[in-house]
């Protein structure tokens, strides 16, 4: 339950709750500062600035963004960055900024310290905490057993000065992922399956907390769990959560060197009332893709009757730029490199790290050798093409992309069409030049997985 007190609000009742962490990125900092300065002027003071984290993660590849360059938007982006940095400096906020200073025309600029959601999970979020951020994918951190949700600029401005955010107690939808996940399938396949369900497409998840549970979830690493909670936004939910367990403790210990103690209240009560409980037999699932236009256009890849040729393969974003995602990319590309295979002719492959920690781990493990061998272009951490701001975005309406991001709405990543897929499917498709699972790519070359 979200509240723990004798006067615990009932379902549908609202109030203000104290946020353990508040975070903001450069799209919103200037607007938030404008609201606050207008209301308080020089008397403005922030509540507990040490618990606020700021990010410049969306626009650090603007110098390589065709839409921003072509429409003369670079100056506006630089203004957003200046406003962000001025606010951060005035109040001494913790900032995860660009790896190099962003100046117009400087083609050497590359990336940020990390995408906000990924960094929050890696470095800040703890079980039982309440986190708010100015982005719909804030539920990412729910993978660690905290309540994390997105708010608008006005609500964040209020939270900056009061430390509190409005919350209406939402209904909870429990999703039991049963059975065993078949080899080669990932959390992204699970989410695309859920998104394609008629109930979800009809709005059954809107405004609800998705509580992911069951043996399949317990077997997933935290990075994979974060794919589930991250894409609660696409499912229409208020947030997504996974009960913290030994895997959560391992993740926090390995990523931060911190020991955490789990408490009884950090999970649902026995016999807790749910709006509904769904059970999914994951043993019957196969690799999924989502047709262009909407993440809910999911189909099993083996049911496609048409051949989908590709121009771009993009692997990155908060959803698919994590450590475990790069383990999947490397597994495919190392296999391909061993056989002398490269990215298919006519296809451009982009691999973009989610955080510098992910990048540094990949380097330490020697992953870039396989990435280079198949012909990938490596990109520093940033939201990049997912936000239509950087390499990997299409430039022509006729281009076809396979992407590991969370959304494929028209125009989201350029004017072309975007198919969504899991990290291994994106990687295998880049080698094949068409939509193809890793298992089918292996079979094509006479290897039985």
23 φ/ψ angles, rounded to the nearest 5 degrees: -140, 155
Sequence-ordered list of residues with C-beta below 8 angstroms from that of 97, at least 6 positions apart, any chain: 55, 56, 85, 112, 113
Helix, strand, or coil (residue 211): strand
Question: Domains (ranges, CATH) in the chain?
Answer: 15-167 (3.30.499.10), 168-263+270-284 (3.30.499.10), 288-444 (3.30.499.10)
pLDDT of residue 348: 98
pLDDT of residue 230: 98
Angle separating helix axes 246-256 and 222-230, nearest 10 degrees: 100
CB 387 within 8 A of CB 409: no
Sequence-ordered list of residues with C-beta below 8 angstroms from that of 238, at least 6 positions apart, any chain: 149, 170, 207, 208, 209, 232
pLDDT of residue 102: 47
Positions of the chain with pLDDT lower than 70, given as ranges: 1-8, 101-109, 448-449
Consecutive H or E run containing 430:
helix 423-432
pLDDT of residue 105: 44
pTM: 0.95
How far is residue 59's CA from residue 63's CA, in Å, rounded to a whole number?
9
Which candidate, 279, 321, 315, places its Cα nearest to that of 428? 315
pLDDT of residue 77: 86
64 φ/ψ angles, rounded to the nearest 5 degrees: -125, 25
Q: Backbone dihedral region of 261: left (phi > 0), alpha (psi from -120 to 50 degrees) or beta?
A: beta
Over residues 339-359, the pLDDT tens digits come to: 999 999 999 999 999 999 999
Helix, strand, or coil (residue 133): strand
pLDDT of residue 449: 65
pLDDT of residue 107: 45
Please, what is the Cα angle at 90 between 84 and 95, to 5 degrees? 50
User: DSSP labels for 343-386?
Assistant: SPTT-EEEEE-SBHHHHHHHHHHTHHHHHHHHTPEEE-SS-GGG
pLDDT of residue 101: 57
Over residues 260-283, the pLDDT tens digits come to: 999 999 999 988 999 999 999 999
pLDDT of residue 48: 98
């Amino acid at each position: 339950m979200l509240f723990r007190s004798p006067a615990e609000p009932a379902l549908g009742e609202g109030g203000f709750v104290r946020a353990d962490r508040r975070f903001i990125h450069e799209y919103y900092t200037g607007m938030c500062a404008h609201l606050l300065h207008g209301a308080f002027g020089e008397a403005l003071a922030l509540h507990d600035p040490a618990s606020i984290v700021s990010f410049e993660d969306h626009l650090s590849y603007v110098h390589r963004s065709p839409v921003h360059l072509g429409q003369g938007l670079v100056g506006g982006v630089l203004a957003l960055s200046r406003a962000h940095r001025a606010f951060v400096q005035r109040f001494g906020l913790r900032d995860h900024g660009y790896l190099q200073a962003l100046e117009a025309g400087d083609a050497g600029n590359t990336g940020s310290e990390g995408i906000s959601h990924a960094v929050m999970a890696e470095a800040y979020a703890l079980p039982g905490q309440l986190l708010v951020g100015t982005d719909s994918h804030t539920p990412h951190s729910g993978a660690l057993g905290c309540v994390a949700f997105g708010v608008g600029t006005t609500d964040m401005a209020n939270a900056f000065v009061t430390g509190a955010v409005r919350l209406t107690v939402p209904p909870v939808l429990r999703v039991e992922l049963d059975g065993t996940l078949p080899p080669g399938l990932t959390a992204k396949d699970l989410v695309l399956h859920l998104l394609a369900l008629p109930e979800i497409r009809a709005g059954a998840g809107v405004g609800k907390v998705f509580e992911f549970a069951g043996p399949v979830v317990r077997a997933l690493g935290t990075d994979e769990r974060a794919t589930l909670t991250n894409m609660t936004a696409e499912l229409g939910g208020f947030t997504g959560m996974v009960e913290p367990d030994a895997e959560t403790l391992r993740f926090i210990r390995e990523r931060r060197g911190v020991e955490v103690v789990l408490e009884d209240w950090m999970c649902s009560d026995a016999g807790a009332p749910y709006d509904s409980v769904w059970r999914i037999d994951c043993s019957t699932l196969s690799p999924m893709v989502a047709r262009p236009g909407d993440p809910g256009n999911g189909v099993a890849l083996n049911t496609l009757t048409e051949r989908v040729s590709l121009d771009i393969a993009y692997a990155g974003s908060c959803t698919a730029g994590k450590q475990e995602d790069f383990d999947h990319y490397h597994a495919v590309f190392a296999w391909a490199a061993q056989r002398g295979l490269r990215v298919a002719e006519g296809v451009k492959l982009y691999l973009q790290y989610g955080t510098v920690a992910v990048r540094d781990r990949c380097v330490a493990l020697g992953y870039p050798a396989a990435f280079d061998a198949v012909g990938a272009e490596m990109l520093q951490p940033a939201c990049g093409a997912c936000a239509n701001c950087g390499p990997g975005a299409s430039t022509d309406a006729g281009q076809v992309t396979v992407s590991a991001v969370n959304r494929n709405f028209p125009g989201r990543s350029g004017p072309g069409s975007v198919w969504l897929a899991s990290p291994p499917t994106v990687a295998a498709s880049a080698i094949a030049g068409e939509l193809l699972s890793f298992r089918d790519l292996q079979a094509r070359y006479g290897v039985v997985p």
